[in-house]
Amino acid sequence: MNSRKKIIIIISVFISLLLGWYLFIKESDYCITFNATTATGTIYQGIQEWSKKQLTAENESYSTIEQRNFDFIKQKMTKGNQELEYTWELKSINDSTTTVSVGIKDLNHSFYNRLTALPFIPSKFKTEQIAKIKTFKVGLEDHIEDFKIKIDGDGKSEDTFVAYISLKSVLQEKAQKMIQSDGVITGYLQQNHIKIIGRPYVEVINWDLDKETLDYNYCFPIDKSTPYIKNQSVKFKSIPAIKGLKATYFGNFRTSDRAWFALLDFAKKHDYKLENKPLEHFLDNPFNGGNELEWKTEIIIPFAKNK
């Protein structure tokens, strides 16, 4: 067998293997990739919020099949007779940018879509999916413009004596739960003539990343010599000074957790070991109004004890 025939055979085998992988083994029918200038967790939250809106806007119902710590989520979408899988993979590539890869599979027409989803050739399936993911990307970019995050690096908080109320919620409802509970703690302080001497804190006691749930204290600084007047909900304590990785967040307090995600990505890139117990210090009063991009929150996530 001459060299030319060997080359032809090798190329034919390679092409056959490639086609076999593409048509029968490859997990997705089509993959869309783009970059976003934000943390993986912000995008992860955005996917979930976008999916809920799609039910109202497009009558598309999304259920989560599998998920992993803010960098992977697989969903099943149903709409009438349509059944599609969306596999989102999020990879932080530097301190400010994340690559998003969306693998899309039509569970009822996968083989046909693979045959027609050729490079540079439009098909109905490709066109519809590109348009759909574009709406997500545009919405994400609009959201990113609503806040700014500055990673400050190593930092330290101050020891602070507070009156506090303990709360539980899913991550997305943290601010809403605080607002609902604000009257309880501020009412107690006013009724007992206890002066607030600083801006409020949120002290996270437990953050379950998989379930996206929080146990946290909503705190107001008061004088350490203040006598405690017994109450079922409001307690007193000292928040000890902690060392950790610090960021400054500018934006609406409802989405201050975007800075948490930025700190987690930064920690992974720079080999910091953290405890998932953020401490937030809100330095502006949203009831005063004004430009939300000027509302300032200092956030610190403590170093793990073995650091």
Asked if residue 130 and residue 185 are part of one domain, the reply reads: no
Q: At 54, which helix (H) or strand (E)?
A: helix 40-58
Domain membership of residue 27 (yes or no) is yes
Q: Do residues 156 and 131 share a domain?
A: no
CB 258 within 8 A of CB 39: yes
What is the pLDDT at residue 95?
81
> Does 77 share its domain with 169?
no
Domain final residue pick, 145, 164, 190: 145
Do residues 256 and 213 both lie within one domain? yes
Is residue 181 in some structural domain? Answer: yes
Last residue in a domain, options 86, 119, 145: 145
Query: Do 101 and 12 have their domain in common?
Result: yes
Check whether residue 277 and residue 246 sit in a common domain.
yes
What's the pLDDT at 13? 44
- Single out the residue in 145, 173, 195 at which a domain terminates: 145
Which residues constitute the domain of residue 173? Answer: 149-302
User: Are residues 80 and 25 part of one domain?
Assistant: yes
The single-letter DSSP state of residue 253 is G
Q: How many domains does the chain have?
A: 2
Q: Left, alpha or beta for 70 (phi > 0: left; psi -120 to 50: alpha)?
A: left
Q: What is the pTM of this model?
A: 0.85
Tell me whether residue 307 is in a domain. Answer: no
For residues 161 and 279, state if they share a domain: yes
For every residue of 167-204, which 3-state class applies, written as one string? Answer: EEEEHHHHHHHHHHHHHHHHHHHHHCCCCCCCCCEEEE
pLDDT at 19: 42
pLDDT of amino acid 96? 84
Q: What is the pLDDT along the chain (307 residues), one digit of tens a residue?
A: 566 555 554 554 444 434 443 444 456 778 899 999 999 999 999 999 999 999 999 999 999 999 988 899 999 999 998 899 999 999 999 888 999 999 998 888 655 555 666 555 677 888 899 999 999 999 999 999 999 999 999 999 999 999 999 999 999 999 999 999 999 999 999 999 999 999 999 999 999 998 899 999 999 999 999 999 999 999 999 999 999 999 999 999 999 999 999 999 999 999 999 999 999 999 987 767 789 999 999 999 999 986 4
The CATH number that applies at residue 73 is 3.30.310
